[in-house]
Chains A and B, each alone.
Chain A
Amino acid sequence: MDNSDTIFYLFIAYTFIWALIFWYTLRLGKREARLADELDLLKQSLKDKI
């Protein structure tokens, strides 16, 4: 097997793995930030009411 040929497949596979994990972590972070903002807003408005 020609080595330079298979290294291309290796590159694609590793890129995919880490891109997917990075995307998932990023999505979690965004969701967390959004929910934290919403929670703060709700708590603030609750406090204002009382």
Chain B
Amino acid sequence: MAQNRENPGWDRLLAWLTFFSVLAALYLSLVYAPTEKTMGDVQRIFYFHVASAWIGMFAFFVVFVASIAYLAGKDARWDIYAYTSAELGVIFTTIVLVTGPIWAKPIWHTWWSWDPRLTTTLIMWFLYLAYGKIRSSLGEEEKRARLAAVFGIISFVDVPIVFMSIRWWKTLHPAPVVGGSTGFALAGGMIPAFFVSLFAFTLLYIFLMRRSVRIERMSAEIRAIKENL
């Protein structure tokens, strides 16, 4: 078991760095960034909505990679990575799915629309809830890790579709900010707000990930001791 190899000093540094970048992101998105002309202040949801979406999809990508790595080598460490990342992915996708309708209500005058982007994102959310359900329904560690890894690979089918949906189809959902042909251009002051928010959420993901991994290792250690008794 690879315990105590990480330096707690790094974790403390990471925690403070995350805290201050979140503060900076809040300041930049709420105060510094100019108010969008047509949408008004509600456009400021965008900074954290998009950052959560990116981190959520990234988290599911980590699940995918960790699942493959687990099946290839049967190393329990990868199983922990896959599980914690899936949980965080669900948290970030929940943020996306809640803030999206809150933005849409004043702008589209409806909470929800069945356009490809929204539909595929909702499906993605359900898929990783199901992933958690597989895990909670199995007691034996090896079997749980193996079956979850198999589903972690299959469920990733939807993630690229979510990512590409606004690039493939003309959707009601706004076009992508990066890599899209007709994306609504970010005004000068919005660019730092967006990238600092993205940076803050990336740090938050790494911070929470490290913490959850540490907790999972602790609980694995407890199980190991109990089995020995």
Partners in one complex: yes
Which residues in A have some Cβ–Cβ distance to B below 8 Å?
1-3, 5-7, 9-10, 12-14, 16-17, 20-21, 24-25, 28, 31-32, 35-36, 38-39, 42-43, 46
Given A10-B42, A13-B98, A39-B225, 7 more A-B residue pairs with CB atoms under 8 Å apart are A6-B106, A7-B40, A10-B41, A10-B44, A16-B99, A35-B219, A42-B222
Docked CA distance A25–B218 (Å) = 17
Is there contact, CB below 8 Å, between B211 and A32? yes
Q: How many A-B residue pairs have CB under 8 A?
A: 80
Q: Number of B interface residues at 8 Å Cβ cutoff, please give it.
A: 33
Q: Mark B21-32, 1 if CB is under 8 A from A, else 0.
A: 000000000100
Contacts of B5 in A (CB 8 A): none
Is there contact, CB below 8 Å, between B40 and A6? yes
Is there contact, CB below 8 Å, between B98 and A16? yes
What are 10 of the A-B contact pairs (CB < 8 Å)? A1-B38, A6-B42, A9-B103, A13-B98, A13-B102, A17-B95, A25-B208, A35-B219, A35-B222, A39-B222
Is there contact, CB below 8 Å, between A17 and B218? no
Q: Mark B76-91, 1 if CB is under 8 A from A, else 0.
A: 0000000000000001
Q: A20-B94, A28-B208 in contact; A35/B215 too (CB < 8 A)?
A: yes
The majority secondary structure among interface residues of chain A is helix
Q: A3-B41, A36-B218, A39-B218 in contact; A13/B212 too (CB < 8 A)?
A: no
**What residue in chain B is nearest A25 (Cβ atoms)?**
B208
CB distance from B16 to the nearest CB of A (A): 14
Docked CA distance A8–B30 (Å) = 13
Which 6 pairs from chain A and chain B are nearest by CB? A6-B42, A6-B40, A13-B102, A1-B40, A13-B99, A35-B218
Most chain A CB within 10 A, of B35, B41, B44, B48, is at: B41
Q: A3-B41, A25-B208, A36-B218 in contact; A9/B102 too (CB < 8 A)?
A: yes
Contacts of A25 in B (CB 8 A): 208
Docked CA distance A5–B99 (Å) = 16
- Which of B95, B214, B225 is in CB contact (< 8 Å) with A32? B214
